[in-house]
């Protein structure tokens, strides 16, 4: 199956490939600056380039620029891209919400799943045949539609993942809250809360120390609070193409 981009994949003026290397280098510099401020080494930070709605040619170009970790949040698109680009041996990260009935398909191509958020999904992802890395997504808002487990239900879900065959818990994932569609002015406060939750779960899961948090607009704040996995889209890929 070939996923068809909603725009041309040629490197023409205005295409997502224009300036891609410069944007990638700018973000890498920003990550290095934030890591220095935090007294951290960039070797402990994985940058996942989120390529939702972007053409496969952009992902191919990213690969030539040294990118190995790519993220998608729509199963049908992710599955098709992973199949078409199988020869690149990329690390595919699934960062969106997952329907339980699609869980087995997602784990067939995803190296890491960032959005485990309920017991039923854990059961659907469990497998005696292979192991997939995962994060538990924490909801930092009062809106259940945003995905993620409430903090009060976090420890039971951690235990559910630890007891499920075929799942290796890396840590916690979160998205900083937004107000009226815009990021909050102090995302670092939200990320500090996730770090505190992480400290709490490590009594039950001492190896689950990773933190998947930080996006294009707030990755520096996430690094200051210990993020190990950044999910960065438009700051690297440019504006998303229009889609139907």
> How long, in residues, is the chain?
244
- What pLDDT does residue 239 have? 85
DSSP, collapsed to helix, strand or coil, labels residue 142 as coil
Contacts of 47 (CB under 8 A, 6+ apart): 27, 28, 31, 67, 69, 230, 232
Nearest Cα residue to 70 out of 19, 115, 25, 110 = 110
Dihedral of CA atoms 157, 168, 101, 53 in degrees, nearest 10, equals 110
pLDDT per residue of the chain (244 residues) written in tens, 0 to 9: 444 443 333 343 345 677 999 999 999 999 999 999 999 999 999 999 999 999 999 999 999 999 999 999 999 999 999 999 999 999 999 999 999 999 999 999 999 999 999 999 999 999 999 999 999 999 999 888 889 999 999 999 999 999 999 999 999 999 998 765 555 558 999 999 999 999 999 999 999 999 999 999 999 999 999 999 999 999 999 987 776 4
Nearest Cα residue to 71 out of 48, 42, 105, 98 = 48
DSSP, collapsed to helix, strand or coil, labels residue 157 as helix
Nearest Cα residue to 231 out of 108, 69, 119, 91 = 69
Gyration radius of the chain over CA positions = 17
What number of helices (H) and strands (E) belong to the chain?
Answer: 9, 10
Contacts of 239 (CB under 8 A, 6+ apart): 16
Fold type of domain 20-237? TIM Barrel (3.20.20)
Which tokens sit at 212? 């998947």
- What ranges do the domains of the chain cover? 20-237
pTM as predicted:
0.90
- What pLDDT does residue 224 have? 98
- What pLDDT does residue 102 have? 97
């Amino acid at each position: 199956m070939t996923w068809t981009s909603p725009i041309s994949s040629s490197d023409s003026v205005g295409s997502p490939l224009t300036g891609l290397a410069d944007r990638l280098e700018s973000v890498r510099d920003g990550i290095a600056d934030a890591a220095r401020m935090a007294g951290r080494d960039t070797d402990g930070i994985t940058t996942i380039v989120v390529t939702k709605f972007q053409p496969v040619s952009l992902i191919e170009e990213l690969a030539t620029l040294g990118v190995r970790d790519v993220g998608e949040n729509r199963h049908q698109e992710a599955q098709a891209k992973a199949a078409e680009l199988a020869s690149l041996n990329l690390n595919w990260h699934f960062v969106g919400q997952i329907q339980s009935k699609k869980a087995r398909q997602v784990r067939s191509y995803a190296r890491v799943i960032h959005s485990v958020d309920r017991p039923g999904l854990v059961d659907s992802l469990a497998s005696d045949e292979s192991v997939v890395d995962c994060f538990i997504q924490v909801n930092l808002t009062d809106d259940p539609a945003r995905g993620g487990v409430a903090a009060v239900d976090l420890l039971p879900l951690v235990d559910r993942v630890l007891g499920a065959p075929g799942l290796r818990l890396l840590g916690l994932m979160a998205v900083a809250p937004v107000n009226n569609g815009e990021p909050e002015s102090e995302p670092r406060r939200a990320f500090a809360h996730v770090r505190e939750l992480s400290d709490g779960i490590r009594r039950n899961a001492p190896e689950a120390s990773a933190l998947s948090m930080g996006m294009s607009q707030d990755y520096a704040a996430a690094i200051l609070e210990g993020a190990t996995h950044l999910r960065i889209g438009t700051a690297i890929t440019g504006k998303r193409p229009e889609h139907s």
